[in-house]
Amino acid sequence: MISVCKSKQSILSAADVVENLVGGSGAFATDVVELGDGKTVSIASLDGFGKSAIQSMNVEDASSVRSADIKLAQDLHESFGPIREHCPWLLNAREFWEWIAFSELREYALARWCGGSDWLINSEIPRPKDSALERFLMSPDSVHSQSRHVIRRLYIYADCSFSFDGTYDHISTILADDLDIPGAVFERKLGLSPTLAVALCRAANKLGAVKKTDDAKAISARSKRRKFFKQVNLLVSSVAMEFLSDAQIDDYLNGLVAEINSAS
């Protein structure tokens, strides 16, 4: 049964994150969040999902991290089905995602973004960077904040894939090897349209690195993708792409990819 609890104080900074992590999941043992009608909803154990992800993940191996993230994203989305049906507004509640990150999936979040939890009990181990700790923060009014959250980001990717065609087949396209891709899409409002988001991720994955030759410098895939998203941002400022057909969106984006590749 869901028993959503919140911290006794607001969590607004990296320092607040550390304070609540040091307190452990027990810091969320008071002040149950009101769910409106007082009902509870049964979901699968999240703790098991987190343990499975940690066991399959080697933080030194980007491929295994990506695979663990993809699996956890689907597990979360499937398990939250009852929430979407009975109280979907809960999925935009800051307290809900704080509970998930600091309690239910705490160990996964620490392993994935903070190098584990040893630094919490050993002062000789450097504290993670603020940029990593701030991924525990979530603002319901900020697309950027939600798409960077340690856990919510995975749910967003799975929901996009499922909303696109009722499958989870596209999570691997969204959660690409280069995290700049989902970042460029979902940290902006481009991710609000599943059709556009999936098309953007597909197109961006087609931009690969160019090796150095006698006549030309090497060009990284990341630099080409950043150029692509700059062009996309210019495009959406003048074209309402959400009203275009799938074929029209693909034509636009594939045209940009071809132009960038030919100029390399």
Q: What digits encode the pLDDT tens for the residues 119-160?
A: 999 999 999 999 999 999 988 888 888 999 999 999 999 999
What single DSSP character describes residue 129? P
Domain span including residue 32: 1-175
Q: Is residue 124 located within the same domain as residue 201?
A: no
Secondary structure class of 32 (helix, strand, coil): strand
Q: Is residue 82 located within the same domain as residue 21?
A: yes
pLDDT category of residue 1 using cuts at 50, 70 and 90: very low
pLDDT of residue 60: 87
pLDDT of residue 177: 84
Among the candidates 117, 143, 175, a domain finishes at 175
- The verdict on residue 188 lying in a domain is no
Average pLDDT over residues 172-181: 91
pLDDT category of residue 246 using cuts at 50, 70 and 90: confident
Among the candidates 142, 175, 208, a domain finishes at 175
Smallest Cα–Cα separation from 126: which of 114, 109, 138, 139? Answer: 114
Given a cut of 70, whether residue 5 has pLDDT beyond it is no
- pLDDT 10s digits, 87-102: 788 888 888 888 889 9
pLDDT category of residue 77 using cuts at 50, 70 and 90: very high
Q: Is residue 14 located within the same domain as residue 50?
A: yes
Q: Is residue 161 located within the same domain as residue 93?
A: yes
Q: Is residue 252 located within the same domain as residue 218?
A: yes
- The verdict on residue 241 lying in a domain is yes
- The verdict on residue 9 lying in a domain is yes
- The verdict on residue 68 lying in a domain is yes
Find the range with the poorest average confidence among 73-77, 188-192, 226-230: 188-192
Largest distance between two CA atoms of the chain: 70
- The verdict on residue 190 lying in a domain is no
Among the candidates 175, 206, 236, a domain finishes at 175
- The verdict on residue 186 lying in a domain is no
Q: Is residue 203 located within the same domain as residue 171?
A: no
Residues 6+ apart with CB under 8 A from 155: 73, 76, 77, 80, 91
Q: Is residue 110 located within the same domain as residue 24?
A: yes
- The verdict on residue 189 lying in a domain is no
The CA distance from 9 to 43, in Å, is 27
Secondary structure class of 73 (helix, strand, coil): helix
Determine contact, residues 224/260, Cβ cutoff 8 Å: yes
- The verdict on residue 80 lying in a domain is yes
Q: Which residue bears the tokens 């919510």?
A: 152
| Half-sphere exposure for 31 (CA within 13 Å, toward CB) | 11
Q: How many domains does the chain have?
A: 2
